[in-house]
Amino acid sequence: MGNIGSREILRLSVNGRQHELLVKPYATLLEVLREDLRLTGTKHGCEAGECGACVVLVDGTPQLSCLVLPGQIEGSEVTTIEGVSNGSELHPVQQAFMDHGALQCGYCTPGMVLSSKALLDSNPSPTRDEINEALSGNLCRCTGYVSIIEAVEDAGRAMA
């Protein structure tokens, strides 16, 4: 082992693109995405695993990027909010959030969209309880949750 915390090479696939990066082993996945890859769609929130603003998909599963060390997920496929749309065509979840006005300041929205996408990918017609449960770790402090939940229901119908 070299000096404590010396940089090391990390191979990471993000939004379908392979990256080879020289990173600090103590930088979180959130920091690597935002600072090394300049993918600033993923947000810093509480940084302690309580708010869901930093949710990204790791092999299709929502995880808190503020609590993941990149070394832990080497070889996995990471999807951030930048990788959700198909070019300029919005993902059905994004479109439904727009149609329902399911955001105000937008800070929680990337995490909300990714948690919703993961739910709908595995369960296209979830019940309200299932939506509530899937989004229970994503805190919104301005719009309230009704329009968000309705947007997820609509997106499910659009994706079916």
Partner 1 sequence: MLRLPRFSYLRPGSVAEAAQVLSEYGSRARVVAGGTDLLPKMKRGQMEPEVVIGLGHINELRGIRATEDGGFEIGACVTLSEVVASPELRAAYPGYVHAAALVSTPALRNSGTIGGNLCVDTRCNYYDESYEWRKALGFCMKKDGNICRVAPASATCRAIASSDTAPAAISMGATVVLVGPNGQREVPVESLYQDDGQFYMTKAPDEILTSLRMPSPGHWKSSYVKVRNRGSIDFPLVGVAAAIQMKGSLVEACRIVITAVGPQPLDVSQAAGALVGKEIDDTLLEEVATEAAKPARPLDNADLSYVWRKRMTRRAIEQAIREAAEVG
What's the sign of the alpha-carbon dihedral 126, 129, 134, 139? positive
Tell the smallest beta-carbon distance from residue 46 to partner 1 (Å): 8
Nearer to partner 1, 121 or 133 (CB): 133
Using alpha carbons, list the distances in angstroms from residue 49 to 36, 74, 106, 116.
Answer: 21, 20, 19, 18
Tell the smallest beta-carbon distance from residue 31 to partner 1 (Å): 8
Nearer to partner 1, 116 or 147 (CB): 116
Tell the smallest beta-carbon distance from residue 89 to partner 1 (Å): 27
What whole-number distance in Å separates Cα of residue 118 and Cα of residue 50?
19
Beta-sheet pairing, 77-79 with 8-14: parallel
Binding positions for partner 1, rule: CB under 8 A: 1-2, 4-6, 8, 24-28, 31, 44, 47-50, 52, 55, 58, 61-64, 66-69, 71-72, 115, 133-134, 136-138
